[in-house]
Chains A and B, each alone.
Chain A
Amino acid sequence: MTTTNNMLRDLGYTTASSGIKAFQRDFNRVGSRPLLVTGELDATTIAAVELAHSTSEMFKAVRDQPIAPTTGKG
């Protein structure tokens, strides 16, 4: 849990319930498997935190911009 809290802080979130909810909402914008926005560090949220932390540079960049519309060509 301490490691997950540290990861959350590294990503710019607080470890309070409101901070966890903010992460869950941001993750749902970029993740293909949405999290339940509970404000709690359940197993799936912990896994999401670890994933986001391992790709922190891109996660921070993508969460700060609106997701582009799906390209139709190709």
Chain B
Amino acid sequence: MATNTRATTKTNEALAVREPDQLAVRDQADLAKPTPAGMTKWQKAGVGAGVAGATGLAAFGFYRLGAFMGWWGGSSLIVIDDEKRDPKKTDDTPADGGQSNSRDRAIGKPPNISGDPEGYNTQRYPHPGSVRLTMTGLGYKVEYNNETLVPNNTPHPEVTKFQNDWNRVIKGLDSGKVKFPSGSDPSKLKPFRGLLDADGIPGKNTLNAMEIAFNNSLKNLIKWSSLVGQA
């Protein structure tokens, strides 16, 4: 005669209540999980430092974004682009030194003749007003004030015009279509090389080109307008 001995014997009653195998596994898994109460003070300090560091980085990034976009930074904000370049390399002079009659002017970017480690003449261009004056001196129509030329990163048409003029002059020098005035000092003509991105933004390369064009209009009597007229 078969009988159900499970519920009747004391031994079986204890086993049924306990569910030993499943309970043991679940307990072990729960104990393996770290709880807040289980973290050491050093672990908590590490977590706190990480959160603080991430917050600080985010705030710094937001500040830089704002300065870049012109939300803050005032009229001192002048350089928009920031071309990645070798910090040791302040000039793009060709290996051969770049002769005034060479046909390799339309290579690279205009040189930083100031040698300023920032990549452009920060003493000459501390504010947008200096850039505006330079452009006025070169014959471009810009108002003279200290406001940024590119609010909200909007390209300025006169800056684009200068960039296109520069590129045409440089290519014209290479092709022979544009000629320097006779008697010009060849050493002063070397910086007339390199091409610009015609993006309407007065970045470092554009400022370097403006400095070259303006300096030569004073020292070498190479009128920028006459070079543009030939191109």
Q: Which residues of B contact A (CB under 8 A)?
A: 123-127, 129-130, 133-134, 136-146, 160-162, 164-165, 168, 214, 217-218, 223-225, 228-229, 231
Q: How far is the CA of A69 from the CA of B129 in the complex (A)?
A: 20
**Smallest beta-carbon distance B187→chain A, Å:** 20
Residues of A within 8 A of B229 (CB): 71, 73
Contact B218 A65 (CB under 8 A): yes
**Nearest 4 A/B pairs, CB to CB:** A74-B161, A68-B139, A55-B129, A58-B133
Residues of B within 8 A of A74 (CB): 160-162, 164-165, 228
- Contacts known (A61-B218, A73-B228, A74-B165); A55 close to B127, Cβ less than 8 A: yes
Per DSSP, chain B at the interface is: helix
CB<8 Å pairs between A and B, sample of 25: A30-B137, A30-B144, A32-B142, A33-B143, A51-B145, A57-B130, A58-B125, A58-B129, A58-B137, A61-B137, A61-B214, A62-B133, A62-B134, A62-B137, A65-B137, A67-B136, A69-B225, A71-B138, A71-B161, A71-B165, A71-B224, A71-B225, A73-B231, A74-B161, A74-B228
Residue of A nearest to B134 (CB): A58
Q: How far is the CA of A41 from the CA of B160 in the complex (A)?
A: 37
**Smallest beta-carbon distance A66→chain B, Å:** 9
Contact A70 B127 (CB under 8 A): no
Q: How many residues of A contact B (CB 8 A)?
A: 21
- Contacts known (A58-B124, A61-B218); A69 close to B168, Cβ less than 8 A: no
Q: How far is the CA of A33 from the CA of B144 in the complex (A)?
A: 8
Q: How far is the CA of A30 from the CA of B223 in the complex (A)?
A: 17
- Contacts known (A55-B130, A62-B133); A71 close to B139, Cβ less than 8 A: yes
Contact B144 A73 (CB under 8 A): no
Output the residue of A51, A57, A71 with the most chain B CB within 10 A.
Answer: A71
Q: Which residues of A contact B (CB under 8 A)?
A: 30-33, 51, 54-55, 57-59, 61-62, 64-65, 67-71, 73-74
Q: How far is the CA of A74 from the CA of B162 in the complex (A)?
A: 7
19 new A-B contacts at CB < 8 Å, known A31-B144, A70-B140, A71-B228: A30-B137, A51-B129, A54-B126, A54-B127, A55-B133, A57-B124, A58-B125, A58-B130, A61-B137, A62-B133, A62-B134, A68-B225, A69-B139, A69-B225, A71-B139, A71-B229, A73-B165, A74-B160, A74-B161
Residues of A within 8 A of B123 (CB): 57
Residue of A nearest to B141 (CB): A70
Residues of A within 8 A of B142 (CB): 32
Residues of A within 8 A of B130 (CB): 55, 57-58
Contact B214 A32 (CB under 8 A): no
**Smallest beta-carbon distance A23→chain B, Å:** 14
Residues of B within 8 A of A30 (CB): 133, 136-137, 144
- Contacts known (A57-B123, A58-B124, A61-B214); A68 close to B164, Cβ less than 8 A: no
